[in-house]
Amino acid sequence: MAVYTAVDDAALEVFLADYDIGELLSAKGIAEGVENSNYLLRTTGGIFILTLYEQRVAVEDLPFFLGLLAHCAAKGFKAPEPVARRDGALLSTLCGRSAAIVTFLDGISTRRPSPTHCAEVGRGLAELHLATVDFPLRRANALGIDAWAPLFAASAEDADGVIPGMRAMVDEELTMLTECWPRTLPDGVIHADLFPDNVFFIGRALSGFIDFYFACNELLAYDIAICLNAWCFEDDGAFNVTKARALTLGYAARRPLSTAEVTALPILARGAALRFCLTRLHDWLRVPKNALVTPKDPAPYFERLRFHQRVRSPAEYGIELQD
């Protein structure tokens, strides 16, 4: 739930004078994303989203994020498109914060993905990976495998109090992942946070992706592994192989996977489950009093990690090795 910064109508008027988007008709704070303040603007020129970047987004990363969205738009990939100021800048300042305007993307996120939704997400993810092949900027994955051990070190002492047995299991997992991580798979720009909240549909058809603030250069198949975790487990924790098959086949239909990528899926899925388990554990142990945002429970991702540990073949994700 966002809107941390209240924007004064007079300040907004001054800010918008730098843009050529028509006369302002309406500005509503919207509850989207948890990192930034977002306003839906209606002008005589259309509908837009105004984002004020709060402290969790590093200002130095904004050219990468906004450049990536502009690149996607130029390639016809459906995502919010940055609107340049009259002077050409994509980034501006409002209420002492970095701020940008993007076009409004129609669509609704789904809380109960069907296999059809999963197939659409897989297809869209492959298209994102293809559309960004020639994106020139780079951003390291700040939450990639090398970050997991230090991240866990800060919470390890309290881990067993949250989930009994967690500390030893995560320590073992980190050792295994460090040894076996497939660092030579094809890489490129990944979304890295493609949860159902960040995918819009109109009816059953994908209308686009939003919230690229974790996007980075990383193994492309790791993005699929994140989606397997985010889209293919039921509320009761059960893995749904029909959804996983739809997702992986949807992806592979647009960007065929190499044997090495398919073979690596179980270990990548373990890594992805661990990454979300660790960041949630970190936030869970550091909830500020009077927090506006309820932290997410790390336990479901710990259970997903256990599931992936038992997987013996990528066929269990519904994808067969072609050869």
Binding site for a copy of itself (CB under 8 A): 1, 3, 8-10, 12, 23-32, 40, 42, 47, 104, 106-112, 200, 202-203, 289-292
Choose between 29 and 144: whose C-beta lies nearer to a copy of itself. Answer: 29
Choose between 110 and 263: whose C-beta lies nearer to a copy of itself. Answer: 110
Shortest Å distance, C-beta 50 to a copy of itself: 12
Choose between 28 and 56: whose C-beta lies nearer to a copy of itself. Answer: 28
Show Cβ contacts of residue 74 under 8 Å, excluding neighbours closer than 6 positions: none
Shortest Å distance, C-beta 8 to a copy of itself: 5
d(CA 285, CA 262): 35
Contact indicator for 205, 278 with CB cutoff of 8 Å: no
Shortest Å distance, C-beta 160 to a copy of itself: 27
Choose between 209 and 307: whose C-beta lies nearer to a copy of itself. Answer: 209
Choose between 34 and 147: whose C-beta lies nearer to a copy of itself. Answer: 34
CA distances from 223 to 32, 182, 320 (A): 22, 14, 18
Q: 323: which 2 tokens?
A: 């050869």
Reduced to 3 states, what is the DSSP secondary structure of residue 155? Answer: coil
Q: 160: which 2 tokens?
A: 């067993």
Shortest Å distance, C-beta 277 to a copy of itself: 24
Shortest Å distance, C-beta 32 to a copy of itself: 6
φ/ψ (deg, to 5) at 312: -105, -15
Residues in the chain: 323
CA torsion through residues 109, 114, 119, 125, sign? positive
Contact indicator for 288, 217 with CB cutoff of 8 Å: no
Shortest Å distance, C-beta 42 to a copy of itself: 7
Choose between 25 and 253: whose C-beta lies nearer to a copy of itself. Answer: 25
Shortest Å distance, C-beta 31 to a copy of itself: 4
- 100 burial (CB, 10 Å; 0-12 / 13-18 / 19+) is buried
Choose between 53 and 135: whose C-beta lies nearer to a copy of itself. Answer: 53
Q: 234: which 2 tokens?
A: 């039921």
- Cα angle 282-214-138, degrees, rounded to a multiple of 5: 130
Contact indicator for 220, 190 with CB cutoff of 8 Å: yes
Contact indicator for 257, 147 with CB cutoff of 8 Å: no
Shortest Å distance, C-beta 194 to a copy of itself: 17
Choose between 110 and 240: whose C-beta lies nearer to a copy of itself. Answer: 110
